[in-house]
Amino acid sequence: MTGSQSVAGRGAGEGVLVLGVDTCGPSGTVALARVGAGGIELLGQTELAGKTYSATLVSAVEGLLTGHGVKLADIGAIVVVNGPAIGAGSELVGFGDVVIATPKAKFAQPEVKLGVFPPFAAVMLPQIIGQKKTYELILTGEALTAEDALRFGFVNKVVSEAELPNYVESLMARISEFSGPVLEVTKRVIGNSIGQPLKQAMKTSQDLYLNELMSLEDVQEGLRAVIEKRKPVWKNK
């Protein structure tokens, strides 16, 4: 979708959850769907009514996910950008774990031009692209091109618009092969380690590994599959 982002991740149930966010034009929309072998099932949508302030956008996204038993912080999120991601739209991209963009994408935090600052970007961007580049983007309001965003680590890959559907489909298919609960615990470990001293981060990782991960049925299935030299059959438990 031109001028929009989509976020995909594993959640409860069969298939891949896809969150589409359109932040362009006078009115914005957030829609949640499940993509599986049977096609696309629309689970719900929320109108933003043109309110793209950071807290409003993120609250709308989280509210839609929570209503279906999913937390944005706990799922592996793929963000696809095929157009301008400005203000709150760019901040939403920052929540993604893997960001795919086309050359048409651009990212900007122009809030300073309106006399305010971007609350989420001010916290997230230094951890993603570094302090100096964050100062430049937020204090000038200038935009990053897709290639610039790739160079600074805000985007994982830039693909042509023609290649985008197949690339995203392939990426989601690979992620869908794995256990959802295992991916959730893995993401939590990575997220919790950011900003922590190494010793504390290692302790947190070890605690989750021994006390939560190892209690999952899918972990036992994975070990059995290795021993039996077969492909694991996940129960997502």
Length of the chain equals: 237
Asked whether the beta carbons of 96 and 8 are under 8 A apart, the reply is no
Architecture of domain 4-176: Alpha-Beta Complex (3.90)
Would you say the pTM of this structure is higher than 0.85? no
Q: 14, 41, 47, 91: which one is catalytic?
A: 91
> What residue has token string 């010793």?
199
Predicted confidence at residue 50, as pLDDT, reads 53
The rounded Cα 76 to chain-centroid distance in angstroms is 6
Our answer to whether residue 91 is catalytic in this structure is yes
The band of 11, judged by pLDDT with boundaries at 50, 70 and 90, is very low
221 is catalytic: no
Q: What is the pLDDT of residues 96-152, one digit of tens each?
A: 888 999 999 999 999 999 899 988 899 889 989 999 999 999 999 999 999 999 999
Exposed/middle/buried for residue 80 (C-beta within 10 Å: 0-12, 13-18, 19+): buried
Query: Amino acid identity of 230?
Result: R
With b meaning 16 or more CB within 10 Å and e meaning fewer, what string describes 135-164? eebbeebebbbbebbbebebbbebbeeeeb
**Confidence band, pLDDT 50/70/90 cuts, at residue 162:** very high
Q: Which of 111, 169, 177, 228 is catalytic?
A: 111
* Three-state SS annotation for 180-223: HHHHHHHHHHHHHHCCCCHHHHHHHHHHHHHHCHHHCHHHHHHH
pLDDT of residue 224: 93
- Per-residue pLDDT, 19: 65
pLDDT beyond 90 at 77 = no
- In this model, does residue 23 exceed pLDDT 70? no
In what order do the strands lie in the sheet containing 29-36?
39-47, 29-36, 16-22, 4-10, 78-81, 98-101, 157-158
Over residues 174-220, the pLDDT tens digits come to 877 888 888 888 888 888 888 889 999 999 999 999 999 999 999 99
β-pair partners for 8? 18, 78
Q: What is the pLDDT of residues 38-57, one digit of tens each?
A: 566 777 777 766 555 556 66
Give the model's pLDDT for residue 214: 93
CA distance 133 to 113: 18
The answer to whether residue 36 scores a pLDDT higher than 60 is no
User: Residue 5 pLDDT > 50, yes or no?
Assistant: no
The residue with greater pLDDT, 159 or 40, is: 159
Domain boundaries, the chain: 4-176, 180-228
Residues facing 17 on adjacent strands: 9, 34
